[in-house]
Chains A and B, each alone.
Chain A
Amino acid sequence: MPEWRLVIHGGAGVITRDGMSPEMEAAYTAALETALEAGADVLRSGGSALDAVEAAVIPMEDDPLFNAGYGAVMTASQEHELDASIMDGRERNAGAVAGVKRVRNPVKAARAVMERSEHVMFSGDGADTFAEGQGLDMVDNSYFYTERRQNALERVLKNRQRTAEDRHG
Chain B
Amino acid sequence: TVGAVAIDKDGNLAAATTTGGMTAKAAGRVGDSPLIGAATYAENGVCAVSATGHGEYFIRVGVAKTICDRVKLAGETIEQASETALGEVAELGGDGGVIVIGADGTFAFVFNSEGMYRGVVDPSGARTAIYGDD
Cβ of B104: which chain A residues have Cβ within 8 Å of it?
1
Contact of A85 among B34, B117, B118 (CB under 8 A): B34
Q: B23 contacts A49, CB within 8 Å?
A: no
Q: Please judge, given known A-B contacts A36-B121, A81-B28, A99-B28, whether A52 and B18 are in contact too, CB under 8 Å.
A: no
Q: Would you give the shortest CB distance from A107 to chain B, in whole angstroms? A: 5
A57 to B33, CA, bound (A): 13
User: Which residues from 1 to 15 on chain B have a C-beta closer than 8 Å to any C-beta of chain A?
Assistant: 1-10, 12-15
Q: Would you give the shortest CB distance from A28 to chain B, in whole angstroms? A: 6
Please tell me the number of chain A residues within 8 Å of chain B, measured between CB atoms.
85
- From A10, which residue of chain B is reached at the shortest CB distance? B117
Q: Which 8 A-B pairs have the closest CB atoms?
A: A15-B115, A10-B117, A89-B13, A169-B52, A169-B1, A89-B42, A68-B19, A12-B116
Query: Residues of A with Cβ closer than 8 Å to B?
Result: 1-17, 20, 25, 28-29, 32-33, 35-37, 39-40, 43-44, 46-50, 52-54, 56-57, 60-61, 66-69, 72-77, 79, 81-90, 92, 94, 96-99, 106-107, 110, 120-121, 123, 149, 152-153, 156-157, 162, 166-169
